[in-house]
Amino acid sequence: MLTYARWQYAVLVIVLVLSALYALPNAFQKDPSIQISAPKGALVDAALKSRTSTLLRQGGVTPKAIETRDGDLLVRLTGTAEQTRAADVLRPLEADRYQVALSLAPTAPAWLSALNAKSMPLGLDLQGGVHFELQVDQDAALQKQLDTYVEDMRVQLRDAGVHFTGVNRTGAAAIRVNLSNPGEMDKTASSLRQSYPLFVQDVQGTELLLSIPDAEIARIKRDAIEQNLTTLRNRVNSLGVAEPVIQRQGVDRIVVELPGQQDTVEAKRRIGATATLEFRAVVGDEVQAAEAVTSNSIPPGAKVYYDQEQRPLLLSKRVLVSGDQLTNAIPQIDPQSGTPSVSISLNTAGGKRMLEHTLDNVGKRLAAVYVEQIPITEMVNGREVKTTRTEERVISSPVIQGVFGKDFQTTGLTTEEAGDLARQLKSGALAAPMFFVAERVIGPSLGRDNIERGLRAVVFSFAFALLFFLFYYRMFGVITCLALMINLLALVAVMSLFDATLTLPGLAGIALTVGMSVDANVLINERIREELRAGMPPQAAIATGYEKAAGTIADANLTAILAGVALFAFGTGPVKGFAVALIVGILTSMYTAVSASRAIATLIYGGRRKLKSIAI
C-alpha cells in the first residue's frame, strides 16, 4: 500500500525548515565596506568614529552607515567605486597602526548569523575578490641569516677549542672573527672553511674576515621568497579560502588574490603575521640583570630582555631553538595552572638541541621569547615610508625540572595570543617581514557576460525540466517540480553551511545535478506507468514504482559520486569546484527524488480509498 511513516514526514519537515533557513542568507546582498581594526591595546571608540567620518567628508565620500561590529569599525558604502575611494581616503589611519581593509558587510538579519547561517562564498571568477601585493624585505632576510651564521660560528669555534674575543657581523654581508691567540688563525680558518666553503676569507692580524659572495647572497634572498610563498599558502589555507591565487611577482614581491572580500582585516593579519618563539638560556637572575642594566655592564654573550612586567632579564645571545624548527603547535589549557598554553613539537634537529641543553642544565632557567615584527608606516619628507619594528618579550622563564626533547609546552600568553601563535607556528615562520604595498578590488576573472550566461544556463535547465514534467506527467509532473525545487534549496543550503565556494564550474555541476535529478524522477514515473499498464491498482502502482526504481537510482548515483570524489581528490581549482557541487547535488537529489516526492504523492493519493486513476 501507499504509506509514508510519520517520522519520515517529520524528517522531511526538518529538512525543509533547515534548507530554507540556511539558504536564506544568499538572498541578502552584501554591502561593499571598509573595515578598520585597531592595533593591540587600542580601542575602537567615538574618537576614531569621528575621525573616520571627518576623513570621509573631506574626501567627498558619503557612507551608508558607520558602525562598530565585533570590535572593529565598519564603514558601509553604496558601491565598489565608493569603496575604493573610501579606502584611499582612510589610508592616513595606517600611520597610527590601524588596519584599513576592504570587506563585504552582511545585510542578513542578526538572528540568521546567530544560527551560523551565512551566504555561499563566491569564487574569483564569479564575484572577484581582493588583490594584495606584498613586498618581501630581503635585506632583513639576509641579516637574519647572518645572525644565524654568527651564532653557529661561535658554537663551532667553542667546540673546536679556539679562543676568540668576538664573532660579529660587519658591513652588509661579512662576519669578523677576533682571536685571542694569533697562532690559532690557521686552525680557525681551516675549521670555518670546511663548514662555509663559499665564504671568502681575509686574514688581518688577529682578525679573520669572512665575506659572503654575491651568488650566496642571491640564494639567501631567493630562498626567503620561496619560504614566504610556502608559508603564505599554509596561512591562506588556514583561512578556509577556496581557490586562492598566490604567486611570485618580480624580484621581491608576492601577489595574493582571495575570492570575495569577507573579513580582509583578519586575512591581512594572518597573512602578514610574523610572531614566533625563540628559546634562550637565562644568564643569572633578576638581581644581576637589574645591576647590569643600571651599571651598563652587560656580560659578553648576553642580551637584555624584558618580561611582561617590564623587569629585565639577561638571556644568552645564542638562540637554542627558533620558530622555524617547530613542526606542530596546539593551543590548550595547562591542566596544572589553568592558564592558556601552547603545546609544541620540534623537528629532529631542534629536539636534539633541546635534549642536549636540558641534559646539562637541569635546575637552571630557560626563557621563551615572543618575537613579533610590527609594520610601521611613517611620513618622511612628505613621503610614505614603510619599516618594521621588532618587539621581543619574555613570556616565561621557568626552571628546567627535568630532561625533555622535542615535545613540551610553554605558557605566559593570553587565550587569543596562544591561538594566533599556534596557527602561525603551524603554518611556518616567515623568512623575512613583508609589507602590504597594494590592495585593491578585482573584478570577476571570466567577465560579466560569461557569468550571466552561466547563471542563465542553470535557470533555463531548471525551467525546461519543470515545463517538460508539467506537460508530460501532469500531476506527477507537479510532484516532480516540487521535489526539484526542494533539491535546489537543499543544495544551496548545504553548500552555504559548509562554506563551499561557488565558481562557474560549480554552476555547471549544479546544472548537471538538476539533470540527474530529472533522470531519477523519469525512472520513477515511467515505472509507475508500467505498473498501471500491467493492471495494478493506482496506489499499489505508485508504491511499487518508487520501491523498484529506488535501487536503480541508488546504483547510478553512487557511481556518479565516486567519479565526483575522484575529481575532487585529483583535480585542482575549477575541477574541485565542479566536483563539490556535483557530489552535494547528487546526495540531495537522491533524497528528494525518492523520499520527498513519495511523501508528496502519498499526501495527495494515499488517503483515497476508491482511487481508480491517477494523472500521469
- Evaluate whether residue 233 is within a structural domain: no
pLDDT of 128 reads 66
User: The CATH number of the domain where 19 resides is what?
Assistant: 1.20.1640.10
- Identity at 551, one-letter amino acid code: G
Please give the Cα distance from 498 to 190 (Å, whole number).
61
Q: Are 318 and 460 members of one domain?
A: no
Q: Are 303 and 409 members of one domain?
A: yes
The cell for 156 is 663551532
Please give the Cα distance from 142 to 224 (Å, whole number).
9
Question: Are the C-beta atoms of residues 345 and 407 closer than 8 Å to each other?
Answer: yes
Question: Are the C-beta atoms of residues 588 and 491 closer than 8 Å to each other?
Answer: yes
Angle of helix 214-238 versus helix 415-427 axis, rounded to 10: 120
How, if at all, do strands 207-211 and 99-105 pair? unpaired
Please give the Cα distance from 28 to 115 (Å, whole number).
16
- Evaluate whether residue 522 is within a structural domain: yes
Please give the Cα distance from 616 to 609 (Å, whole number).
19
Please give the Cα distance from 74 to 579 (Å, whole number).
36
Question: Are the C-beta atoms of residues 577 and 127 closer than 8 Å to each other?
Answer: no
Q: Are 459 and 405 members of one domain?
A: no
Q: What is the DSSP letter of 413?
A: -
Regions in the chain scoring below 70 on pLDDT: 1, 40-41, 124-128, 237-243, 260-270, 272-275, 335, 337, 373-389, 412-413, 417, 420-429, 441-451, 454, 572-573
Work out how many domains the chain is built from and give that number. 4
Please give the Cα distance from 616 to 482 (Å, whole number).
15
The cell for 21 is 533557513
pLDDT of 377 reads 60
Please give the Cα distance from 580 to 498 (Å, whole number).
11
Beta-bridge mates of residue 367: 280
The cell for 424 is 602561525
Q: Which residue has the cell 546582498?
A: 29
User: How remote is the C-alpha of 36 from its chain's centroid?
Assistant: 20
pLDDT of 68 reads 84
Please give the Cα distance from 208 to 200 (Å, whole number).
10
Q: What is the DSSP letter of 382?
A: T
Question: Are the C-beta atoms of residues 302 and 315 closer than 8 Å to each other?
Answer: yes
Q: State the DSSP string of 527-578.
A: HHHHHHHTT--HHHHHHHHHHHHHHHHHHHHHHHHHHHHHHHHH--THHHHH
Residue 534 CB neighbours (<10 A):
9
Q: Are 360 and 461 members of one domain?
A: no
Phi, psi of 321 (to 5 degrees): -140, 135
The cell for 370 is 615572543
Q: Are 278 and 403 members of one domain?
A: yes
- Evaluate whether residue 488 is within a structural domain: yes
pLDDT of 241 reads 59
- Identity at 141, one-letter amino acid code: A
Q: Which residue has the cell 592558556?
A: 340
Angle of helix 448-497 versus helix 6-23 axis, rounded to 10: 130
Please give the Cα distance from 369 to 323 (Å, whole number).
10
The CA–CA distances, whole Å, from 127 to 100, 179, 265, 575 equal 21, 64, 19, 18
Beta-bridge mates of residue 488: none
The cell for 450 is 560569461
Torsion of the alpha carbons at 592, 598, 601 and 603, rounded to the nearest 10: -100
Q: Are 182 and 308 members of one domain?
A: no
Q: Are 299 and 379 members of one domain?
A: yes
- Identity at 274, one-letter amino acid code: T
pLDDT of 69 reads 80
pLDDT in tens, 258-289: 776 455 666 666 676 666 778 888 887 778 88
Question: Are the C-beta atoms of residues 405 and 354 closer than 8 Å to each other?
Answer: yes
- Identity at 56, one-letter amino acid code: L
Burial of 345 (0-12, 13-18, 19+ CB in 10 A): middle
User: The CATH number of the domain where 380 resides is what?
Assistant: 3.30.1360
SS (H, E, C) 477-490: HHHHHHHHHHHHHH
The cell for 600 is 508528496
Beta-bridge mates of residue 260: 129
Please give the Cα distance from 348 to 325 (Å, whole number).
8
Please give the Cα distance from 616 to 613 (Å, whole number).
9
Please give the Cα distance from 562 to 559 (Å, whole number).
5
Contacts of 8 (CB under 8 A, 6+ apart): 595, 599
Q: Are 456 and 503 members of one domain?
A: yes
Please give the Cα distance from 411 to 421 (Å, whole number).
12
Q: Are 414 and 460 members of one domain?
A: no
Question: Are the C-beta atoms of residues 26 and 120 closer than 8 Å to each other?
Answer: yes
Q: Which of 170, 189, 216 is the last residue of a domain?
A: 216
User: How remote is the C-alpha of 278 from its chain's centroid?
Assistant: 24
Q: Are 514 and 579 members of one domain?
A: yes
Question: Are the C-beta atoms of residues 479 and 602 closer than 8 Å to each other?
Answer: no
- Evaluate whether residue 277 is within a structural domain: yes
User: The CATH number of the domain where 44 resides is what?
Assistant: 3.30.70.260
Please give the Cα distance from 279 to 366 (Å, whole number).
7
pLDDT of 446 reads 54
pLDDT of 41 reads 62
Phi, psi of 603 (to 5 degrees): -60, -35
Q: Are 340 and 359 members of one domain?
A: yes
pLDDT of 472 reads 83
Q: How many helices (H) and strands (E) in the chain? A: 16, 21
Q: Which of 82, 105, 128 is the last residue of a domain?
A: 105
Q: Are 461 and 595 members of one domain?
A: yes
- Evaluate whether residue 229 is within a structural domain: no
Q: Which of 216, 234, 262 is the last residue of a domain?
A: 216
Phi, psi of 145 (to 5 degrees): -70, -40
Phi, psi of 169 (to 5 degrees): -70, 145
- Evaluate whether residue 131 is within a structural domain: no
- Evaluate whether residue 69 is within a structural domain: yes
- Evaluate whether residue 251 is within a structural domain: no
Domain extent, residue 207, equals 139-216
Burial of 412 (0-12, 13-18, 19+ CB in 10 A): buried
Q: What is the DSSP letter of 78?
A: S
Please give the Cα distance from 260 to 499 (Å, whole number).
12
User: The CATH number of the domain where 182 resides is what?
Assistant: 3.30.1360.40
Question: Are the C-beta atoms of residues 75 and 44 closer than 8 Å to each other?
Answer: no
Burial of 585 (0-12, 13-18, 19+ CB in 10 A): buried
